[in-house]
Structure 1
Amino acid sequence: MRYLGFRRPGRLGTVLAVPALVVAALLAGLALTRGTAPPVTTPPTTVPSTRSPSAPPPSGDAVEAVPEAAPAPDDLPVVDYDPAPAGFPADPDTMEVTPLTEGLRPTRRLAAYDAPGGRPLAFLDPTIRGVELTLPVAQRRTGWVAVLLPSANRRLAWLPAGGWTTTDLRDQIVVERRAHRLTWYRDGVARRSWPVSLGRRGQETPLGRTFVLGRTTPTGAVYGGVDIYALGSIPDDLDAVPASLRGAHIGIHSWHHDGELGRSTTNGCVRLTRSAQRLLLAEVPPGSPVVVVDTLSAA
């Protein structure tokens, strides 16, 4: 089996070898038909929003107080590739497909809190084992910002002001589980769409918002010789995956053949054709948001 670890600075790397091609790895999703690329589907023009209309801003000139950040103990855990510490709040908009367009890059070690002015639960470093972090911004409060938490599913971390910069995020990946389809959007407009294979029963591809954590060069031929995207998400049921995949992240990647596109055959990963994966690697940078839904509702 194969799972994602880290091999050298700036790249995620695989650590375990694949004993047999018949074993589907978590970061080696679907099997595809050799030499035949499936037809590209026609995607919707824009990402439909499921968000309710925003409430009007409060009237008056009152200035909201900034909740103070409590000092963080030195012995807090650091968010790494292993599952993140418990206690962080749920992402209330985790099924929202409106693109997140701002990314946060830590410039030093940051304390991550469970709420504005709440409890510090862990530290976020600028990198995870050499891979630079870009975290999609999900919410803002006066003096605070919430980002999608890496190495966790559907969780946010709140950060006070300072110690980070921001960058624009133009790209988004939307995965539809029922349709077995992945669509790449740029600036809210669909660019390409492909059939994919997703997680089998009991190891379903996790729903909700996550992001591209980084990329890794695989060892072995099962991935078709194309780099893998590791996502910020992990299996929903850590005990359901094979023992050799414990500690793995969900990934987007190609496979050595295209025979199982449109089916649920993986250990949770998203598999697509080699040509599609190469295009995503060339166009979609780390930090880009990814959202997995059962179905994409019409606007």
Structure 2
Amino acid sequence: MGDSSEAAVQPRGRRAAWISLALVLVLVVAGLITWALRPAAPAASAPTVTATPVPTPTPTPTPTPTPTGYPANTASYDAATLPQVNVFAVIPELPVDDDAYGDFTGEHAVARGIGAPVFADPTTQPVAYLPSEFPYDGTTVPVVQKEENWVKVLLVGRQATPSHGNSAQVTGWLRTQDVELAPDDTVVEVSISARTVDIVRAGVTERVATDFAWGTPDTPTPVGRAFIMTTAVVPEFWYTRGHPIVYLSVQSPTLDGFGGADVAITAFHYHDERSGPISNGCIRLDSAAIDRLAQLPLGTPVVIRA
């Protein structure tokens, strides 16, 4: 009995061992398959590099040069060959003022030496000369435009008489090298419609008249900008009652001459009759007003408005 039992047990033990071994092999194979099929580890991410923008330098603007206007002219001219600018002169080449109510620069000019050449256009040759002295004055002239090498000024005289052309206020260009410049902060403002005459100095207004006489429709008072040419007492003009006459640079727009003279100068003066449009173009004032205006220096700007 013993032999048969041992024989029976041995085969059963071997089968169990083989089964255990087979199971181990299955588990090993399964582990290998599982390891082989595991998901791949994610690749390491490359570091993100943020580029720092390089600022574009702001270009430095090129400075705009200050305009100097017309170029300098250093040529020499013989005054004897040029017509003289004075109250009696009629010089067709002189331009009429193209900005009758324009501003003044606050300076006046006087020619150096015996006189300064006058140019209608700074790019051409002179058409006249402004003397530094003249018996009837008109040699201190207000500046209406200023450049580095040139000044534009108002002048006495005319481009033409009314019967032959335009007799309005004339202008011209002077080289700065030929003149002495000085400040002038005063202007006379006349309003015909408001019946007022004001002296404005450094922005401060002094009213010197609230009524006056002015030109008739046939002999109107010229309007626009002008300047005080000269101031004189003329006893022969009885109507002034011995008060000064303040003569302006501008002349009548309708009269070639007046009182036997070949000029027709507009002026401020005293008259007993001094209200309304009754004059030959002059502005008639009372004694206080005319005496006050007579104190102003030659070359003082004047603006007359309708």
TM-score (norm 2): 0.69
Alignment of 1:153-164 (within 5 A): 153-164=168-179
Partner SS state of residue 81, structure 2: coil
Letter in 1 for 2:304: V
Of 57, 63, 71 in structure 2, the residue corresponding to residue 66 of structure 1 is 71
Map of 2:59 onto structure 1: none
Q: Are 1:250 and 2:266 an aligned pair? A: yes
Of 275, 280, 290 in structure 2, the residue corresponding to residue 277 of structure 1 is 290
Of 272, 293, 298 in structure 1, the residue corresponding to residue 305 of structure 2 is 293
Aligned residues of 2:104 and 2:144 also touching (Cα < 8 A): no
Measured in 2, the distance between the counterparts of 1:227 and 1:62 equals 45
Moved more, 273-282 or 64-73: 64-73
Deviations 1:55-80 (A, max 9, x none): xxx95237756143665454211112
Q: Are 1:169 and 2:184 an aligned pair? A: yes
Partner SS state of residue 127, structure 1: coil
Measured in 2, the distance between the counterparts of 1:135 and 1:62 equals 26
Map of 1:189 onto structure 2: 204
Measured in 1, the distance between the counterparts of 2:88 and 2:136 equals 15
Q: Are 1:199 and 2:215 an aligned pair? A: yes
Aligned residues of 1:70 and 1:119 also touching (Cα < 8 A): no
Task: Please state how far the C-alpha of 1:130 moved relative to its aligned partner.
Answer: 6.0
Distance verdict in 2 for CA 1:72–1:170, change over 3 Å: same
Alignment of 1:70-219 (within 5 A): 72=77, 74-96=80-102, 98-108=103-113, 109-129=115-135, 131=137, 133-152=139-158, 153-194=168-209, 195-219=211-235
Of 215, 222, 238 in structure 1, the residue corresponding to residue 255 of structure 2 is 238
Letter in 2 for 1:80: N
Partner SS state of residue 83, structure 2: coil
Partner SS state of residue 250, structure 1: strand
Task: Please state how far the C-alpha of 1:244 moved relative to its aligned partner.
Answer: 2.1
RMSD of Structure 2 on Structure 1 (CA): 2.4
Distance verdict in 2 for CA 1:130–1:82, change over 3 Å: closer
Of 222, 228, 243 in structure 2, the residue corresponding to residue 226 of structure 1 is 243
Letter in 1 for 2:141: L
Task: Please state how far the C-alpha of 1:83 moved relative to its aligned partner.
Answer: 3.5
Aligned residues of 1:126 and 1:132 also touching (Cα < 8 A): no
Partner SS state of residue 222, structure 1: helix
Letter in 2 for 1:278: D
Partner SS state of residue 131, structure 1: coil
Measured in 1, the distance between the counterparts of 2:67 and 2:186 equals 34
Map of 2:14 onto structure 1: none
Aligned residues of 2:91 and 2:157 also touching (Cα < 8 A): no
Task: Please state how far the C-alpha of 1:161 moved relative to its aligned partner.
Answer: 2.4
Map of 2:47 onto structure 1: none
Task: Please state how far the C-alpha of 1:81 moved relative to its aligned partner.
Answer: 2.0
Equivalent pairs counted in the alignment come to 231
Measured in 2, the distance between the counterparts of 1:59 and 1:234 equals 46
Measured in 1, the distance between the counterparts of 2:277 and 2:134 equals 30
- Greater percentage in helix: 2
Measured in 2, the distance between the counterparts of 1:63 and 1:216 equals 42
Measured in 1, the distance between the counterparts of 2:75 and 2:293 equals 40
Aligned residues of 1:175 and 1:183 also touching (Cα < 8 A): yes
The answer for unaligned runs of 5 or more in structure 2 is 1-61, 159-167
Measured in 2, the distance between the counterparts of 1:191 and 1:159 equals 32
The answer for unaligned runs of 5 or more in structure 1 is 1-57, 295-299
Q: Which has the higher contact order (CA 8 A, sep 6+)?
A: 1
Distance verdict in 2 for CA 1:198–1:70, change over 3 Å: farther
Aligned residues of 2:214 and 2:220 also touching (Cα < 8 A): yes
Measured in 1, the distance between the counterparts of 2:302 and 2:184 equals 11
Aligned residues of 2:219 and 2:254 also touching (Cα < 8 A): yes
Aligned residues of 2:240 and 2:270 also touching (Cα < 8 A): yes
Aligned residues of 1:180 and 1:198 also touching (Cα < 8 A): no
